Copies of this chain bind each other. A is one copy, B any other.
Amino acid sequence: MIRIGILGYGNLGRGVESAIRQNPDMELVAVFTRRDPASLKIRTEGVGVYSVDDVLSFKDKIDVMILCGGSATDLPVQTPLYAKDFNVINSFDTHARISEHFADVDRAAKEGGKVGVISIGWDPGMFSLNRMIATACLPEGQNYTFWGRGVSQGHSDACRRIEGVKDARQYTVPVEDSVNRVRNGENPDLTTRQMHTREVFVVAEEGADKEKIDEEIRTMPNYFADYDTTVTFISEEEMKKNHAALPHGGFVIRSGVTGFDREHKQIIEYNLKLDSNPEFTGSILVAYARAAFRLFSEGQTGCKTIFDIAPAYLSPLSGEELRAHLL
């Protein structure tokens, strides 16, 4: 049994908890939180909730610690910190800071003789893996990444910070015409606006200036200004009824050419349709936690990304079983 700890118990932590149940070779040992442990009720019977302050007392009881905090402030600090004492894995997704984060985790993990796996999930994660392999197999071509239709939690949060907004949900939507052109192998150059639209559903506070909210959302720099955005005001009941789930997905397309005269189009598409974004991310984290433990068991140390891990490490099946049933 591979003994797992979860640090941070939000949507992602719960996704990891439910994924562990689907993997008979893994068991959840403890959940760590910065909140009052007594305030937190988890779903797995017989498993304790502890303060993050007690984490070191689990040094020999946990094989891999899955870090489920946020990329903005939690993971950059927590990951190198805990990599000294635990094999760790995270879903760090701030693309611009990955190099720095890799170096930090690599140093700490090597110091502790542990393995740290970073940026695991679907983007970064499965999408990166597919971009990378497809690029290596079709060196001449273009990559396209479309997200959605799905809920972006970062964009939803940004809307919630606007005055007069009680609740908000933002959907990222690929532009169908552009998707079709890419799938046809046209290799178009697409602007940000041509790739995705954004749909926002807002519950306004009573008496709020809806016109102003609409304007403020649609012109928000980075988040919305470069997109065609529609804002729809709905009731609190409607929000609960129709927008409680966290679906997401998207697709990575490599559109390349082969042949002595580059005369043949070759199109690779990796496509996800997810009813639950955090549960899918949690499931991937758990599979890569298995890999982290195995790499550690072989004596490897330091930071690894999805590019560095041979796929066989993800599966509970032996090499022989994999060759017989999945090759």
* Residues of chain A whose beta carbon lies under 8 Å from any beta carbon of chain B: 15, 18-19, 21-23, 43, 95, 98-99, 102, 119, 124, 126, 128-133, 135-140, 183, 185, 258-260, 263-276, 279-280, 282-284, 287, 290, 305-312, 314-316, 319-320, 322-324, 326-327
Contact = CB atoms under 8 A, between A and B. Distances in A.
A137 B266 contact: no
29 contacts: A19-B258, A95-B327, A99-B323, A102-B323, A126-B137, A132-B314, A132-B322, A132-B326, A133-B287, A133-B311, A136-B287, A136-B311, A136-B315, A137-B283, A258-B275, A266-B274, A266-B279, A266-B283, A267-B273, A268-B272, A269-B271, A305-B322, A306-B327, A307-B319, A307-B327, A308-B310, A308-B312, A309-B310, A310-B310
A162 to B, nearest CB: 30
A272 B134 CA distance: 11
Nearest to A275: B264
A120 B133 CA distance: 13
A99 to B, nearest CB: 6
A294 to B, nearest CB: 12
Contacts of A98: 323-324, 327
A275 B279 contact: no
A132 B315 contact: yes
A271 B183 CA distance: 11
Given A137-B287, A139-B22, A305 B276 contact: no
A176 to B, nearest CB: 16
Copies of this chain present in the complex amount to 2
Nearest to A22: B139
A307 B324 contact: no
Nearest to A93: B327
A119 B310 contact: no
Contacts of A260: 18, 21, 43
Contacts of A312: 132, 307-308
Given A18-B259, A270-B271, 19 more contacts: A18-B258, A98-B327, A99-B320, A99-B323, A126-B268, A128-B326, A132-B315, A133-B314, A135-B326, A137-B280, A137-B314, A258-B280, A266-B273, A267-B272, A267-B273, A306-B311, A307-B310, A307-B311, A311-B311
